[in-house]
Structure 1
Amino acid sequence: MIKLAPLHWENVRPFYKWINDPEVIEYSMSAFQSMSTEAEIDKWFAKTLQDEASLNLGIFIEATNELVGYAGISGISRLNQSGEYFILIGEKAYWGQGVGTEVTRQVLALGFGTQHLQRIMLTVSEPNVGGLKAYQRAGFQVEGRLRKACLRQGRFHDKIVMSVLKDEWPPLAY
């Protein structure tokens, strides 16, 4: 159903819509909360394309080649063989369709395989119950809590720190 492929400059346009949709970015990285203009998004996207410490991939629908989001691993440390998983499904028509589960499976396979990582972590907003459950199904385990680490819609909430190790993946129930 989906394929992951490197992002290119011509893929920037959907991000204009996604980053300006409060529902899409509600639990996304803080940088998205302060961007709104095409120029700001262009600047972020250009940096993303040049980031050699991250694996940045577009999420494409295989049949149509439509870009519906992006995912990958940021802050890759070759020394520590670790990085931080991220995902944004920008096209809401694909929410709840299993895209996130499949993307997570593919990115973890790349992280532990071609990237030779030992540990992949993430943070998830506590109110994002669906995300928390999906990450647990993918093999991520809760490591801790960052108290009141995120401000959204005028309220602080906790971020849950999770990780999965190479020798724990894939989980049997995945």
Structure 2
Amino acid sequence: MDAYGELVRLRAMGVDDAEALWRWNHDADVMRWMDEGYAETVAEVAKWLEERPPNAYGDVLFGVEAEGTLIGLVRLHGAEPEAGIADMDIYLGEKDFWGKGYGTDAVRAVCRYGFHKMRLRKITLTVAAENEGARHIYGKVGFVEEGRLRGTFRSADGQWADKFTMGLFESELRLTS
């Protein structure tokens, strides 16, 4: 089932998305604030997408689409019905779409999906303390800073930095800026 924002459509990802995902994962600007894994080939990314279990309550992966183009991904994972809490990851890989409201819209859309379709009670995330752009977006949507994880993010220059944990209850979700 797709989810929609005002600017974006969230849809299931498939093997056809492997090349874009591979390209984003090998772009230093895109990966600046991400915990990077190891280098993979396009074929390995395609295999991961093909073998990945289908979207289900515990792990939902969406491609973020805008203007007919796949521009990023967003994921709710780690959800258990007993707790009703999921962790959120998001990034936009198409830099032409940065700073134009697509990220904020995607966060709102996935949070609405999580609260309404998955019946979550809370969505959490971690974000590098220095990633002011992402922290601004999360704050606009209603996420609240809940704690600081000291020295848990390794920056591109090899320095260890802090991360913030943030959380959002449905009653805190801001549907407009």
* TM-score normalised by the chain length of structure 2: 0.87
For structure 2, the 5+ residue unaligned runs are 1-6
Q: Which residue of the partner structure matches residue 116 of structure 2?
A: 113
Distance in structure 1 (CA, Å) of the matches to 2:69 and 2:140 = 27
**Deviation at residue 156 of structure 1 after TM alignment:** 0.4
Report the residue type matching 1:22 in the other structure: A
Distance in structure 1 (CA, Å) of the matches to 2:104 and 2:98 = 11
Contact 1:71 1:87 in 2 (8 A): yes
Partner residue of 2:14 out of 8, 16, 21 = 8
**Deviation at residue 72 of structure 1 after TM alignment:** 2.5
Partner residue of 2:63 out of 58, 77, 83 = 58
Partner residue of 2:25 out of 19, 23, 26 = 19
Q: Let me know the Cα RMSD of the aligned residues.
A: 1.8
1:128 aligns with 2:131: yes
Change in 2 beyond 3 A, CA 1:88/1:47: farther
For structure 1, the 5+ residue unaligned runs are none
Change in 2 beyond 3 A, CA 1:148/1:127: same
Change in 2 beyond 3 A, CA 1:96/1:157: same
1:169 aligns with 2:173: yes
Distance in structure 1 (CA, Å) of the matches to 2:48 and 2:77 = 14
Correspondence 1:130-145 to 2 at 5 A = 130-145=133-148
Distance in structure 1 (CA, Å) of the matches to 2:93 and 2:53 = 18
Q: Which residue of the partner structure matches residue 4 of structure 2?
A: none
**Deviation at residue 48 of structure 1 after TM alignment:** 4.3
**Deviation at residue 149 of structure 1 after TM alignment:** 0.3
Report the residue type matching 2:123 in the other structure: I
Aligned-pair identity in percent equals 27
* TM-score normalised by the chain length of structure 1: 0.89
Report the residue type matching 1:131 in the other structure: A
Q: Deviations over 1:118-163 (max 9, x none)?
A: 0100000011011111101110000000000011221001010000
Report the residue type matching 1:58 in the other structure: G
Distance in structure 2 (CA, Å) of the matches to 1:135 and 1:34 = 28
**Deviation at residue 167 of structure 1 after TM alignment:** 2.4
**Deviation at residue 76 of structure 1 after TM alignment:** 1.3
Distance in structure 2 (CA, Å) of the matches to 1:35 and 1:78 = 34
